[in-house]
Every structure is written in C-alpha cells, then in structure tokens.
Structure 1
Amino acid sequence: MDKAILRNVAINLFGLVLPTFVSLVTVPSYIRLLGVERYGVVALVWTLIGYFSVLDLGMSMAAQNHISKAHASGDAEACERVFWSAFWLNFTTGAIGGLLIYSGGALYTAYFSHVSSALRHEVFLALPWLAVAIPVANVSWVFAGAINGAERFGIYNTNQTLGTFLFQLLPLAAAWAVAPNLQTVLAAAVFARLVAGVLLGRSALRVLNIRTLRGPRFDTSKALFNFGGWMLVASVTGMVADSLDRMMLGAGLGARFVTYYTVPQNLVTRLNLVPNALVRTLFPRLSALRRDHADEIAAQSLQFLNAVFTPVAIGAIVVLEPFLRAWVGPVLAEHGAPVGRVLIVAVWLVGQASVTRVLIQAQNNPAATARVGLVELPLFAGLLWFGIDHYGLPGAAAAVLARALFDYLVLLCLARIRTRTILVDMFAHLSFLAAALAIAWWLPGAAYAIGTGVVLSAANIVWSVASTPMLRGYARSLLFRLNSRKSA
C-alpha cells in the first residue's frame, strides 16, 4: 500500500471521529434547551430523513465510481457529464421525496402522533423545512461522491467537519437566541445543511474544474442507474439486516432485553470508524485501477487492517465489562458484556468483508454483492429466530457473528484474491481474539484481564510485523526516521 493511501486513511479517520465527538458533546445542551419530548421529535425527524437516503438510488456511489475512472484517465468532459447527470437525477428524486415527507408528515402528525396539541402545531410549522432538507441532502451526496471520486479527501473532510459544526451549533444558537421550539431548531438545521451543501458543491466544481451548467445526459444517466440500482439494493438489505436483531429481540424477549443488547451494540459499532476510513479511501482508488493492481491493493489492505484493527479489538474485548460497569451500572454490564464481546468479533469480520465488498463493487460488479445480501437476509432472519428462541441474547449475538463470517467467506470467494494466504492471516488474528475472549471471561478481576490483554495486543503487533513483509517495511522506515532524528 502506497503512502498516499495511508495518508488518506488517516484523513478519513479524523474526518469520521471529529464529527462524532461534536455530536456527542452537544446532545446534553439540546436536551436542556428543548426538553426531552422536543428533542425526541427532532431525533425521530432526522432518523426519518436518514431513511429517505434511499432516494439517492445509489447515484452518489455510482458518480464516485465513474468520476474516479474519468479523473484517473484525465477525461474532464466525462467528469462533467457524470457530475451534472447525477446532480439533476438526485435533485429530482429529492424534490419528490420532499413532497412525500411534507404530505406524509402532515397526515401522520394530524392523526397518528401521540404528542400534545402545542407540539403538534410546532411540527406542522416545521414541515416545510423538512421538505427542503431532502433535496439538499440528496445533491450534497453527489457533491461528496464527486470530491471523493477525485480522491481529494482533505477537502471533503474539511467540508464535512465544518458542516457538522454548523449543523450542531447553529440550531443550538437559534434555540437559545430566538425560541426553543421545533420550527426554529429545524429551520436553523436545514439552513446549516444548505450552507454546508453550497460549500461542498463549490468545492466539487473546483476539484473537477467545472465552469458551466449542463443538463443530464440519457446515456450517462442510464449507466449511473445500472450501477447505482444494485448499490441501492445492497444498501437497503444491509439496513434491514442491521436492524433485524433488535426488532426480533423486542418481539421475542421484550424491551428490557433490547436495552441489554443495544447499549453494548451501539458502543462496539463505534469501532467501525477504522475500517470505514479505509473503505472510503479504497473505493475511488480501486475503481480507477486495473483488476490485477486493484487485487494487490485490496490484499495489502486486508493485511494492514488486521494488523491495525486486531489490537484495537483485543483492547475493546478486555475493557468492555469494566467500562460498562462504570458507565451504565453492574446489572446492564452483566447482561451486556458477554453479548458485546461477541459483537466485537463480528465488527472485526465485517470490517474485513467491507474491503472485499468494495473491491467487487469498484470493479463494476455491484450486482454480485447485492445478490449476496438478498440471499443472506432470509437465512439471517431464520438464524436469529432460532438463536433468540433457544438461547436469548447470546443466541442473537451468535447469529450476528455467523452472518459476519458468512459475509466474509462468500465475498472473499467472489473477490478471488489470494484466498488461501488471506484466510491463513485472518485465522491467525482470529486466534488472538479467541484468546482475548477467554481472558475476559475467565480471568478474575478487571486489572488482571486488562493487563493480560495489553500483553496479548503487544504480541499480536509483533506477530503482524514479523509475518507481513509490508509491515516490516513500514517498521524499518519508522525506525530509520527515529534514528535520523536522534542523530540530528
């Protein structure tokens, strides 16, 4: 893996961590200003808008794929054609979505919502802003795809971070200075999204050196739909599968067990920041490369991810229970820690599967990954039902782990990249995770478990460097730089 990829991974990781931190910090202030009920409505509103991301129809990823190829070949005209075709398609679907959310929101608020009449009136006044939010979000995804397609991740993450600051702080300021009601907060939030979208769009036009406004092209739009449609199928099946465990736990065991499961799940899924930063970096690069070179980069990325992510996962496994005890109390920690440990291994596998998935998608075969999701969904539902019915919370976690392993093995076979070598490396690292699980379960006392986990993490790092030529090269380069600085 070249240094440019590593630099972009670091940039993307920073761009994912900082907005998450800002969001967490501002939540208590929102709750104090708005109250629990209003903040709950705001949270539901943005969740609803998140579901409307399906109206993107995979266009942002399709645009990123096509722009990365055109940009790598120096075809500025093709970049411009793809950009404007994706823009107008997403603007149109976003406008339709805005009309739907306005009319549907009015109907739901009038007849089905369980809120006070005063709050219902505030929701009615806020609905036009929600309608505007959908097309703004839709075209912003195209702008983001265009910038990432050109591999200008520094520009994208600068805009994203600025947008997050605006989105979190401007509504808070409006609630404090104007009025702590829904229409004020949502209007300020949509205005913040609009400003962020304009800045992102200006950056996209500059990156691609686009100076003229153009209409969509039918042939380009068709190509984008052919790619984006399968990306949409994969996204929807993934969204359903990711929420299925909580839904079936609620139906089978009740809300109390959903809490026992969701708290550690929400915590350990934060670990996805590491593989997500890598995947965001890889997609445009793998789209622009020939298959043989793309395979080599993907194989190196899997080795790199194992070396970086396994020590993190080991540390998370051994500290999870003491952290939960300090954070949410002993009862929830007792039920949630065993589940969370298994889910950490699942997250670790999902991260690796994401690399092979993005390789397949980037090399113009998104249909293959979508079909895997379609086949997997009913199998996963059946396994969840059996696991929850017979084993409760551990059964649900085991089903999620089995799904992650299925994803990993099937996608690795479809990717056809050094399967034997990669499997040997994966199972070697998996043995370290199994040892961490044993330590966390059987060693008495958190101090003993954490101390042994630190030793195990160090041993895993040493093994990774010793067994991987690429990592040995990085280690030698680092030592050489340190020695040079000491000499100077």
Structure 2
Amino acid sequence: MLARNSLFSIAGSVVPVFITVITLPFLLGTIGAERYGALALCWLFLIYSAHILEGVGTAITHAVARAEDDEQTARDTMVTGLVTALVVSPATAVLASVVAFVFFSQFFEVSEAVKHELVASIWLIGVSSFVSGVSRAVFGALIGKERFPTASLAMMVCNGGLPLLALLFAQMFGANMVVLLWASLTAYCLGLLFLLLDLWRSQLRGKQARVSWHRSQALLKFGFWIMATAIVAPLLLTLDRMVIGAQLGAIAVAAYTIPFQIVSRLQLIPQSLIKVLFPRLSVSAGVKAQKMALYYSIVMSACFAPMIVGLIYLIEPLLVVWLGNNLDPQSVEVGTWLLCAFYVTAIVQTMAVFLQSQERGAFVAKFQLSMIVPYLALLLYCANTYGLMGVVGAFLFRRTFEALFLVASSGFGSWRFWFTQIPATLGLLVAIMTVEMLPAPEYKLLAGVIVGSLTLLGAVLVVPAELRTMIIEQSRKRLRPNDHSA
C-alpha cells in the first residue's frame, strides 16, 4: 500500500513538471520575459497564501489517520476541518491581496503597462488564494484516509493547469496579466472540484457528520505551529525572488525563476513520499518513528542524489534545447547551484515533517522564524555585492545550515545520518568540478551516467545493514510468485 500510494503521489507531482517543461517555451514566447516574471511572482503569492492553511490540512490528516478505527470521528473531523478552512481562508485571501498590492505597486521594477495590469488583477489573487486554501483542507482529509489516487489527480489538474491554461488563455484572449490570473483561478477551481467530489462520494454521502467547535479548536491547536512553519517557510523561500525583483528587476526574476521553477519541481518527488509517510509517522512514536524517518531519509537521498548529479551535467544542454534564444546565460549557473540547494532541501523537509509528526511543530516554527531577519540581511548583502549568483549562494547556505541543525535535533545521531550522505556529497562535488571540462552534450550525458551510477553505488554501500536487509526481503517478497496449493 505504501509503495502504491507513493507512486500515485509522485505521479501527481511529476506530471505537472512535464506539462511545465513542455509549455514554458511557448508561454515565454507568447507573453514575453517581463510578463512571465510577473506571473511567476503572482504564482508565488498564491503558493505562499495556500501554505498558510497547510497547518489546518496537516492537522486534519493527523487526526483522521489516528481515528482510522472510528469512522464517525474521522467524518466529523473532515467536516469540521472543512468548515474551519472556510472561516480562515478569507483572512489569508485578504492578506495575499494586500501584500501583492503593496509589492507590485511600490517595489516591483516593471514597465508601467504591466504594473497597471498587475494592480487590476489583485482581486483575482485574493479569490484564487481562498480557493487554494480550502483545497488544502479537503486534500488533508483525503490523505488522512489514504485516498491518494484522487487527491493526486486533483493536484495534477491544478498544478498542471496553471501553465497550460495560462498559455491557452493568453492565445485566446491576449497576453494580459488579468487574463493570465483568470487562467490561474480556473485551474485552482478545477482542482477543488475534483477534491470535493471525491470527499463527498467516498466519505460523506449518505452519512452523518457533525461540526464540532471543540474539534475545530483541537485542529487549530495542533496545526498552529505547523501553520506558523507554513507561513515562515514559504516566506523564506520567496524572499530571494522578492529581493531580486526589488533590486535587480523583472528580467533578473525571469533568469532566476526559470531554472528555479524547474529545479524546485524535482523537490516534488521527496515531498510526495513525505505526504505518504506522514500519516504513518503520526500513529508512531519514539524509537519506531525515529527509525522510520531515518530509513526513509537514507533511501530518499540514495535515490535523489544520482538524479541531481546527472542533471548538473545535463542542465545546460537541456535548457538550450528547451528555451533556445530565450535562454538567459545566467540561468545555467543559477540552475547548477540550485540543484545542490534542493538536494539539501529534501533533507530539511524530511526532518521538519518528522518533528511535526511527533508534535514538535513549535520547535520547527520557532527555528524558521528566527531565520527570517538574518536571511533577509544576507540576501540583501549578497544581491548588492554579487548580483544574481549571490542570491543563489545565500539560498544554498541557508538550506545547509537548516539541514545541519534539524538533523542534530531529530535524535537520529548526526554522525550516523551524515555518514550515509558522503557518497552524495562527493558525487555533487565531482559533478560541479568537471561539468565545465566537457563541452559536448554527449560527453556530459556519459559523465552524468557514470558519476550518477557511482554515487548510487556508494549510497548503497553505506546503507545500514538492517535497512539493506529489509529492502532485500521486501524485494524478494514482491518478486516471489504466489504459491497456491491444489
């Protein structure tokens, strides 16, 4: 079941990546780099505002998973969580609208025509934020019941629909920011419709469910610090592009966002697996939960690192084929170092989810809250001193510091975990040092395969013996044909 759910969750994340990869060159050619940079920031505001309600969705998942033997309690939790989201979401929508208005009207360096379009579309950001926030709650309810196929399909429709509908609407109605944000609202509404239909058909139709103020308080109490983390973490993630937009302009935002958007999509693979793991961690505790999270982290990095290593070699030829003359030369170097940063980010997110599942969400939120001011100061200094690559360096430094701190706080034993990361670290270093020595794409492909394979081999060799035995036994069970007696 865990493997099946993981496949559905990964598919729901990976398919939108392919849609983005296919549509982005056409979208960029249709609306231009300036409007694309503005649209990317609008999507950023929507993602950020939706993350504010991540705590409610996660709390619903946690409570529903723990009530697996009590269907009535699970249904009451789902309905109460949905009502709670409907009450809280308008506040996040207003917040998103106000912040977007202030940023776009006062700080964003863009032409007057695009600025006017952005200001005229602020209300669409607010409505989309509301729809996205409600979707988080419904998604959390379905994940708590392990309804991964439908939940993943809904996310596929929503996330894949953002670039696809933006391109379609731009070609039909013109390259205007109001039109592009109408496309975004349509994508969010389609995703919510899929989620609500499955929640009704699979969990609520013909059955009673009660809204409980006490249960709503419990959800908000559990979700408060996760919500705080969901507010702070995206803020930390969006500060870089806000600083670039304010200091370096819309063209620099596009040069940074294009590789960032693609590279960050790789993060959806470990994130998808974390979503599957969270309900299991929620009903585990102590050493059992620690071992589960540790082993997941090791397996995740063993699979993820070779992919990152290979892409370091291939990012330049892929971007050239993909964007052609629209490619900003800075995007290649930006993408290379972002690949390293997002490998570390996978570790950070795994540690954070483990701590949250063990009801240590306050610890994670307070730590990330303490990072805002130092990180903003570092970004401003690096942007002014080193330009675009300075921002990338600041991002990588922050993620590395977070990984070191959260692993040390997890109780795994830092040395035990970091020992398993030696092959990945060496693979990344070799790739970065040798990629510029290989001018031809075919040589880069060959080097990516060789170094990536060696990284995977090294990761397998340093896996703890107990985990290796578990993997071998599970593989044998799946490969062994079923014996049926006559």
1: CA distance, partners of 2:253 / 2:37? 19
CA contact (8 A) 2:312 2:432 kept: yes
Residue 315 of structure 1 corresponds to 310
1: CA distance, partners of 2:104 / 2:80? 36
Is 1:61–2:58 an aligned residue pair? yes
1:31-73 Cα offsets, whole Å, 9 max, x none, are 89999999999877665544542663721111112111122xx
Is 1:79–2:74 an aligned residue pair? yes
Q: Which amino acid aligns with 1:237?
A: V
Residue 410 of structure 1 corresponds to 405
Q: Which amino acid aligns with 1:313?
A: I
Residue 18 of structure 1 corresponds to 15
1: CA distance, partners of 2:201 / 2:156? 19
Which of 224, 230, 236 in structure 1 is aligned with 2:231?
Answer: 236
In the alignment, structure 1 segments of 5+ residues that lack a partner are none
Is 1:268–2:263 an aligned residue pair? yes
- Written as runs of structure 1 = structure 2, the 5 A alignment for 1:307-456 is 307-328=302-323, 334-443=329-438, 445-456=440-451
Number of paired residues? 477
* 1:311 Cα offset (Å): 0.6
* 1:354 Cα offset (Å): 0.9
1:242-284 Cα offsets, whole Å, 9 max, x none, are 1222333455555555454333333322221221122221222
1: CA distance, partners of 2:102 / 2:432? 50
Q: 1:332 to 1:226 in 2, by over 3 A?
A: same
* 1:299 Cα offset (Å): 0.9
1: CA distance, partners of 2:316 / 2:284? 44
1: CA distance, partners of 2:47 / 2:356? 23
Residue 464 of structure 1 corresponds to 459
Residue 301 of structure 2 corresponds to 306
* 1:367 Cα offset (Å): 0.8
Q: 1:164 to 1:401 in 2, by over 3 A?
A: closer
* 1:477 Cα offset (Å): 6.6
CA contact (8 A) 2:348 2:406 kept: yes
2: CA distance, partners of 1:209 / 1:220? 18
After superposing the two structures, state which structure 1 stretch, 389-398 or 76-85, moved more.
Answer: 389-398
1: CA distance, partners of 2:42 / 2:60? 28
Residue 285 of structure 1 corresponds to 280
After superposing the two structures, state which structure 1 stretch, 408-417 or 395-404, moved more.
Answer: 395-404
After superposing the two structures, state which structure 1 stretch, 159-168 or 393-402, moved more.
Answer: 159-168
1: CA distance, partners of 2:117 / 2:73? 49
Structure 1 length as normaliser, TM-score?
A: 0.80
1:152-173 Cα offsets, whole Å, 9 max, x none, are 2123123433556777778988
CA contact (8 A) 1:324 1:330 kept: no
- What SS class does the counterpart of residue 58 from structure 1 fall into? helix
Q: 1:215 to 1:290 in 2, by over 3 A?
A: same
CA contact (8 A) 2:150 2:194 kept: no
* 1:437 Cα offset (Å): 1.1
CA contact (8 A) 1:79 1:208 kept: no
2: CA distance, partners of 1:38 / 1:433? 34
1: CA distance, partners of 2:103 / 2:47? 18
- Written as runs of structure 1 = structure 2, the 5 A alignment for 1:24-103 is 25=22, 49-53=46-50, 56=53, 58-71=55-68, 74-95=69-90
1: CA distance, partners of 2:79 / 2:474? 44
**Percent identity of equivalent pairs:** 25
1: CA distance, partners of 2:379 / 2:259? 18
* 1:466 Cα offset (Å): 2.9
2: CA distance, partners of 1:388 / 1:183? 30
2: CA distance, partners of 1:473 / 1:430? 25
2: CA distance, partners of 1:425 / 1:106? 46
Is 1:226–2:221 an aligned residue pair? yes
1: CA distance, partners of 2:223 / 2:350? 19
- What SS class does the counterpart of residue 371 from structure 1 fall into? helix
Structure 2 length as normaliser, TM-score?
A: 0.80
RMSD of aligned alpha carbons: 4.4
Larger radius of gyration: 1
Q: Which amino acid aligns with 1:155?
A: T
After superposing the two structures, state which structure 1 stretch, 249-258 or 456-465, moved more.
Answer: 249-258
* 1:331 Cα offset (Å): 11
* 1:422 Cα offset (Å): 0.6
CA contact (8 A) 2:423 2:458 kept: no
1: CA distance, partners of 2:239 / 2:106? 28
In the alignment, structure 2 segments of 5+ residues that lack a partner are 482-486
Q: Which amino acid aligns with 2:64?
A: I
After superposing the two structures, state which structure 1 stretch, 152-161 or 32-41, moved more.
Answer: 32-41
After superposing the two structures, state which structure 1 stretch, 247-256 or 283-292, moved more.
Answer: 247-256
2: CA distance, partners of 1:33 / 1:255? 17
Q: 1:47 to 1:271 in 2, by over 3 A?
A: closer
- Written as runs of structure 1 = structure 2, the 5 A alignment for 1:247-258 is 247-253=242-248, 257-258=252-253
CA contact (8 A) 2:34 2:250 kept: no
1:47-105 Cα offsets, whole Å, 9 max, x none, are 5544542663721111112111122xx12232123212211111123355667889999
2: CA distance, partners of 1:179 / 1:253? 27
Q: 1:246 to 1:137 in 2, by over 3 A?
A: closer
CA contact (8 A) 1:88 1:215 kept: no
Which of 5, 21, 25 in structure 2 is aligned with 1:8?
Answer: 5
* 1:461 Cα offset (Å): 1.9
- Written as runs of structure 1 = structure 2, the 5 A alignment for 1:204-219 is 204-208=199-203, 211-212=206-207, 214-219=209-214
- What SS class does the counterpart of residue 151 from structure 1 fall into? coil
Structure with greater contact order relative to length (CA < 8 Å, sep ≥ 6)? 2
Q: Which amino acid aligns with 2:356?
A: Q
- Written as runs of structure 1 = structure 2, the 5 A alignment for 1:465-484 is 465-468=460-463, 469=465, 470-471=467-468, 474=471
Q: Which amino acid aligns with 1:138?
A: G
CA contact (8 A) 1:68 1:287 kept: yes
Q: Which amino acid aligns with 2:133?
A: N
Is 1:294–2:295 an aligned residue pair? no
After superposing the two structures, state which structure 1 stretch, 440-449 or 355-364, moved more.
Answer: 440-449
Q: Which amino acid aligns with 1:440?
A: V
